[in-house]
Structure 1
Amino acid sequence: MNPSTNTIVGAEVTHSFSTNVNTITVGTQHVLDPLTTFKAPMNHADKASTLIQHKWRPKSLFTISGEVDTKSIDKSPKVRLALALKP
């Protein structure tokens, strides 16, 4: 992580043995404040997504994410909400 900008840039390569397909993903993560993180990955199949995650309480997270297939703009994007509560 670059401490002056609170930003991380990374890449991932995965292989599925069942379908014999490789996936390449690049993305960035930015820490907005100590409790809030923003992530934005994109893979080689032109699927772009974004995620905002907020630590609501210790060990509890609220997440909003979305995904769009940039090759098929006519399809509806996916939007997800998640709440993870841990004692």
Structure 2
Amino acid sequence: NEKGDLLNASYYHVVNPLTKTAVGAEVAHRLSTKENTLTLGTQHALDPLTTVKARFNNFGKANALIQHEWRPRSFFTISGEVDTKAIEKSAKVGIALALKP
């Protein structure tokens, strides 16, 4: 809950609708700390049921995921995050399963 402390501006552009390839950017400014964050991201559909996404921010955080729709509206996702400015730290890895009736 930011309580009005964060200003955001974002841009999203579909490069190729057939492969759902898109790029995006977000700029965020935190009023209380005067901290700015720039995040750049992209996505691409490997096939109609599988999508890969990646993003990187100015603090050196890199995230990626692969998501597969294994049933209608049900997704299996594997994701990871690494701090490129502190590569000696452990990377984060996640697995998610979203089920819709």
Alignment TM-score > 0.5, same fold? yes
Q: Point out 4+ residue stretches in structure 1 off by more than 3 angstroms.
A: 16-20
Q: Which residue of 1 aligns with 2:47?
A: 33
The RMSD of aligned alpha carbons is 1.7
Letter paired with 2:24: G
Residue-pair matches, total: 87
Post-superposition shift, 1:19?
A: 4.3
Q: Deviations over 1:38-84 (max 9, x none)?
A: 00100000101101011111111100000000000110000000000
Q: Structure 1: any 5+ residue segments left out of the alignment?
A: none
Residue 3 (structure 1) aligned with residue 16 (structure 2): yes
TM-score (norm 1): 0.89
Q: Which residue of 1 aligns with 2:67?
A: 53
1:15 to 25, 29, 35: 29
Q: Structure 2: any 5+ residue segments left out of the alignment?
A: 1-13
TM-score (norm 2): 0.77
Larger CA Rg, structure 1 vs 2:
2
Q: Which residue of 2 aligns with 1:69?
A: 83
Q: Which residue of 1 aligns with 2:94?
A: 80
The sequence identity of aligned pairs, in percent, is 64
